[in-house]
Chain A
Amino acid sequence: MSDISSQAPLSWREWLMTERPGSRTQARLGRTYTTWLRFCENKLALIGLAILILLLLTAAFADVLAPYSPYIGNLKDDRLLAPSALHWFGTDDQGRDILSRVIYGSRLTLFVVILVAIIAAPVGLLIGTVSGYAGGWIDAVLMRITDIFLAFPKLVLALAFVAALGPGIENAVLAIAITSWPPYARIARAETLTFRNADYIAAVQLMGASPMRIVLRHIMPLCMPSLIVRVTLDMAGIILTAAGLGFLGLGAQPPLPEWGAMIASGRRFILDQWWVAAAPGAAILVVSLGFNLLGDGLRDALDPKEEGR
């Protein structure tokens, strides 16, 4: 403690950027900081980050932000009103305020995205790392299965899954997760192959670490950066697939304010009351644009070589 206080003039920035970090934590923080600086150079990526922070805040404070109830509308007087000062995005056929529904819908979007990421990414990571580290016939079999899934049309397969499981947001999540793990497995395997024969893995092997420990503790963490980038870039696709399922009536069921389903309900009035479908679609566009911008920025910051890919 006294050591640090005696070096008080050293600014945070200098402490982070030092060439000789005193501890592992400092080195790690320093690296994160330089990555952050590189990330900040990318204006579009910052916009993406801002959009996502906004999404998180909207979802967290939906109760406070939404001016009306998302479920109960005034069927008598407020059906299909055009946007106005009272109802910024207008009202739908049940007299519900569309702005409020869009605000609450952010929760469902986050729910889907996070759940899919939590299910699909670890599955892909596990299959990829095991496949890459084990090699031989395990690798051959696992990769064949992965390739089979990769060759499938994702949306159509998800559609068929939901058709069998029954419509509903949980089943939609499950169906999307089932169809979205293969790319993660591919990436994790490719990364593992580059690490597998590295000297530091050999060193751990010599110290008697079990294969499971090596995969879990040493290889998986190394695969994380590229996996995170890929998952972020996929988020937009997941949102679009979920919205597509919702649009076809297979995702979230009424009266849930899911954006895709809201567009579907606005479809009947599209030619006269276009705003019913316009606002939720715009919300989908903005959020998936946010994920795409962030993913692009993260990729450039974490791996400058891949710029523009």
Chain B
Amino acid sequence: MSPIPTQAGSGRTSARTRSLFLAALRFLVIVATTYLGLLAVTFFIGRVIPIDPVLAVLGDRAPQRVVDRVREEMGLNLPLYQQFFIYVKGALQGNFGTSVLTTNQVMDDIRRVFPATIELATLGTIIGALFGIPLGVLAAVKRGSLADQIVRIIGLIGYSVPIFWLALLSLVLFYAKLQWAAFPGRVDVVYEYSFTPVTGFYLIDATMQGKWDVLWDLIRHIALPAALLGYFSLAYISRMTRSFMLNELSQEYIVAARAKGLSETRIIWGHALRNAAVPLVTVIALSYAGLLEGSVLTETVFAWPGLGLYITNSLQNADMNAVLGGTIIIGSVFIAINLLSDLLYRTLDPRTRTR
């Protein structure tokens, strides 16, 4: 449109870089505000709601001298906004204070326990996706059939059952009665020190070190909690898969694919699911985040030494620093997963890639 073509060309490129820059800026603002919001809420919980945070940290039997010193150390004599500023600064450096219960830095504790939670949640999500997607596809393809009804009921029960209750009952059945699963915990005491935790993901560690007897013991421990979390993930994933697949199967491009002479298998898995996969990525990411959260209850039942158990143990001992540190970490992972799924969505869907 411009009278001077060269200028128009450079104008277009600069417009594109500008829109890219704006998108990146938007992204940054979202991350920053969400994280700041998370910190604000935890700050509010930890410092504003309790009448005396020092009491919450030290308990009511500490001598006055110590109370005063801690008050000074925590900066509680400063105005609230300064306290918040210090709090944010500390949190950004990964400093959530010391745990009363373990007397360690909260961040060190979390670093130690988090791999156990990640291992469990990852395995749960893998199980959930591995079974949930085919079940959802089956339900959509055979819509209204018995198979569809069964998948629907499996999903509904998964949505409705209290996870800790199911965990307890499964312990009764698989540990006490059938003796398939191991006693709650992550690894048997016998094997506890027979391998070196390098990554913190014991399954990987044991495999890399070729300790097959340890690996077998680990599997016997993780199988039940992972299967339970997997069931919850399956309930969600199968339901959403069915709904996405029904939507895709009613599209015109499916008719066109049939008119080309493609087999049903190819149409379902190659065309419809390939399209349904775009929103499914978000669903799987959300279900992963949900399992991280669900681990709080599951880990308690299975004595799984992860972040969930750490948080509940700290709760029972009124160890607020540890509780809030754990909350911030899980919240941060949530934020990260949300953003990641958003990015993944963009790369999977060609329509959002080039605009």
Contact = CB atoms under 8 A, between A and B. Distances in A.
Check A-B contact in the complex, CB < 8 A: yes
A270 B168 contact: yes
Interface stretch (B31-39, B209-217, B223-231, B265-273): B31-39
A172 to B, nearest CB: 13
Those 5 A-B pairs whose CB atoms lie nearest each other, nearest first: A281-B165, A148-B37, A288-B160, A289-B160, A164-B49
A157 B162 contact: no
Interface string A273-293: 010011011001100110111
B160 A236 contact: yes
A147 interface: yes
Interface string B154-168: 001101111111101
Chain A: interface size category: 35 or more
Interface in A207-243: 236, 240, 243
Given A270-B171, A292-B160, A155 B296 contact: yes
A156 B296 contact: yes
Interface centre among B160, B169, B175, B334 (most CB of A within 10 A): B160
A309 B293 CA distance: 24
Interface stretch (A73-81, A110-118, A197-205, A247-255): A247-255
Given A151-B335, A152-B334, A153-B289, A248 B37 contact: no
Interface centre among B33, B165, B327 (most CB of A within 10 A): B165
B34 A147 contact: yes
A159 B30 CA distance: 25
Main secondary structure of the interface of B (DSSP, over half): helix
Contact of B320 (A153, A163, A293, A296): A163
Interface of A: 144-145, 147-149, 151-157, 159-161, 163-165, 236, 240, 243-244, 247-250, 260, 263, 266-267, 270-271, 274, 277-278, 280-281, 284-285, 288-289, 291-293, 296, 308-309
Contact of A292 (B30, B156, B246, B320): B156
Interface string B311-323: 1100110101001
Given A248-B300, A293-B156, A159 B38 contact: no
Given A152-B41, A152-B334, A250 B168 contact: no
A281 B46 contact: no
B172 interface: yes
A285 B156 contact: no
Interface residues of B, number: 54
Contacts of A243: 162
Nearest to B319: A163
Interface centre among B242, B326, B327 (most CB of A within 10 A): B327
Contacts of A161: 45, 49
Contacts of B169: 274, 277-278, 281
Contact of B162 (A153, A260, A308): A260
Contacts of A145: 37
Given A244-B164, A271-B176, A153 B293 contact: yes
B292 interface: yes
Main secondary structure of the interface of A (DSSP, over half): helix
Contacts of B327: 153, 156-157, 159-160
Nearest to A179: B41
Nearest to B149: A44
A274 B172 contact: yes
Contacts of A270: 168, 171-172
B45 A236 contact: no
Nearest to A243: B162
B162 A284 contact: yes
Contacts of B45: 160-161, 163-164
A117 to B, nearest CB: 18
Nearest to B171: A270
Contact of A308 (B38, B246, B297): B246
A144 B156 CA distance: 32
Contact of A271 (B37, B49, B172, B246): B172
Contacts of B30: 147
A39 B292 CA distance: 36
B254 interface: no
Contacts of A164: 45-46, 49-50, 56, 320
A234 B38 CA distance: 23
A296 B239 CA distance: 12
B311 A159 contact: yes
